[in-house]
A and B are shown apart, each in its own frame.
Chain A
């Protein structure tokens, strides 16, 4: 229960943040053409600059680190703290975890937007994620995940997990341990819903029933499930509305033509 509320609150906060971002972006962006100014939605193909930057970053080519420094975890933690690594070193506030390495194997979900600064501020310990450094002394102290974690099951590095697993193991493991943050798929990802513009086939001015038929063409199971709900049957209890509970047991579903 707590978790659900937490998440709801997080989502609400995220929505507000997004709204704020959008407003900022609108004011910051150069004034669009007069004809389009009346529309509230951004023009086609427009991407927020920070998102644009995150997409580009996700597709950057990162040199591969084949050797890592043999260092105990606590030593590394101490050393980084002593050397003063912290939130100020962060260059990008948020990432899009959208590497082509992952997309190569599966594409079920939309990429996760990872709030780097937020996590860094909450943890105040870079080594939780940046757990090892390259053996090369010239290498960066805090390398990107993809520098080491690439394709899964690389026979040359059998004990390194792939990028997708590295993300999941670290995120879910930490969230579980801290009892904070989502641990299920849809908590972080949006579903990669296929573009329905291409899938739906309807005439220009469809009747409502035509739309229903078109939906049911693919979503048969949802159609069957709908037939069991109070929305269809006009019967049963509204269990999910707190404080507005009521129960209807007679009417369309059983003994009447309709409930009016």
Chain B
């Protein structure tokens, strides 16, 4: 805990940030087109393929890859490993922004964006999607509240809004004081609730596709799909933290925090191994290995997902040399992240077939622009927030590894 978190004090408009801004602008154009011409105007979605990459990547993968937030929160706060404290704030910020953009993606994807509040009034408790929506909604609020102390730490007693907004200085200050008084007392509830809500909807995202037994390829359609989703989300949590920490520390030339990342990956060996055993075991028990050599897009995608996304990185992590090498560790963790990403894409898009109607689907350019734009927006806001808020630990600033 010697590395106190502090705002990043570096040149903001680096070439990377400019590229992000450009992609954001392109995505914004596509989003405007979606709200002018309709979903059909910008996307390749059809009656046979109602869900595309906006659900498969923006929502499902977004939720999975934001799992770093609750897994590190569990480790540092519930299990009491304060050693991992430096990575909690970045992971929390990633989760918060990740879920914010999941909701933004949903708003773009659903046909009646203005009606997104309706599940709060009209309940269908039989619907898996209803449960997912409720969990995501509550969890997003939990994440904001968990993040609030960071804002309080930075701005309490220092609220200086510019120009006319200065009249809000008083109320903002009062709000921060209130948060400062209340939040520490209920933080333990929020932390546990965050883990519980995450477990609920991470698994339920898997149940989502169980409603379509005739459409999902048997390689993925298994009654334990929710369990696989949960375990893969838990397994991908720490690799995702390694992945983003490595990217951030190298792009901002900060301390690599290798000691923390290396021990995180030791836990990952068990978590990923558990997921691997479940996934392979499920394949063996249900006998779906017969499809493996079909040579179709689905089976090839499954093979890539299983071998390059799970087995190879798991074997890599077993080697102490990999865990010590910053580069090798990054590669292994990127493969795990990619494996889970591909798994979500496979379940929601590749493995989804419609045999009665022509269900061929490949995302359109504007569809991809929206997704890329949203991800760029996430990264951009991340960069903005770490500039103003104490998120990244800054003890060894400017020490290149």
A and B in direct contact, judged by CB atoms within 8 A: no
Which residues of A come within 8 Å of B, CB atoms? none
